[in-house]
Amino acid sequence: LFRSNVVVTADAKSLAASKVILLVVPTQFVPDVLSGLKNDLPESAPVVICGKGIHVQSQKLLPEIAAEILPDHSIAVLSGPNLAPEVARGLPAAATIAAKDDETAKMIAGYLRTPAFRPYASTDVIGVALAGALKNVIALASGMVIGAGLGENAQAAIITRGMAEIARLGAAMGARPETFMSLAGIGDMMLTCHAKTSRNFSCGFALGQGQSLSDIMASRNSVTEGVTTVGPALALAEKYKIELPICAVVASVLNDEMNVGAALAQLMARPLKTE
């Protein structure tokens, strides 16, 4: 899997000699976990955020929150098309590591690289974090369309226009356009929007088949990040005056305000535009 120098721990005291810290916790717990850890982290160690989401209460991306709590640390983001079971089995995978400076991103990539895991460096922290968070919402929509039997043409349209939504918001927030064509962008989107083992796709699929969100969530013991991300995503869209029509109808389906068929019909009825 990873090199022997990558150690999994829940013991904060064992972090003192770490050269890099990878934080692997659900999005909504990141502020509390980082606040609890900050006195135990070596100041020279970059902190790598591995979650993909937007914090509901603050409506901020995870690296933004981390930078506020840990102002003396370099903050990085690890994201990409990486289904955990495949990575755990040692199957080939690639990902993006973003940090504000290229040297830090490349250093972290060097620590994580193995014959089966290839990280690429980036300095677009906001773009990588945003792409990783919002693709979960589009994966819900992709699953909904397939679950409702609306076809692969509709699914392809949802994925393509969904990426356009993410890129529009990213541009308004200062992200680079090429990030959305990277492993952290289109790569992660392709995987999450098609893989049956994707938590967000499978949740959307069940919704498309008529199951209630409460029943789906009750049957799971893992986090479906897209469900909690869509609200703050729409709040960011309002803040930056960007339209996110697919995210908006996903929110309506999750809130039981319309079914999947009506959601797609609403999208199809929107005024025609230049692509």
174: left (phi over 0), alpha (psi -120 to 50) or beta: left
Catalytic residue (choose from 52, 100, 135, 196): 135
User: What does the angle CA 79 – CA 98 – CA 168 come to, to the nearest 5 degrees?
Assistant: 75
Amino acid at 109: A
Contact 48/116 with Cβ under 8 angstroms?
no
Please give the span between the terminal C-alpha atoms of the chain, in angstroms, as a whole number.
42
Question: Is 60 noted as a catalytic residue in this protein?
Answer: no
User: What does the angle CA 213 – CA 217 – CA 220 come to, to the nearest 5 degrees?
Assistant: 150
Alpha helices in 91-180 (DSSP H): 102-112, 125-147, 152-172
Contact 198/139 with Cβ under 8 angstroms?
yes
- DSSP helix/strand/coil, 1: coil
- DSSP helix/strand/coil, 82: coil
Tell me how far apart the alpha carbons of residues 109 and 176 are, in angstroms, rounded to a whole number: 20
Amino acid at 11: D
Per DSSP, 89 falls in state: T
Strand pairing report for 47-49 and 75-79:
parallel
As annotated, the active-site residues are 135
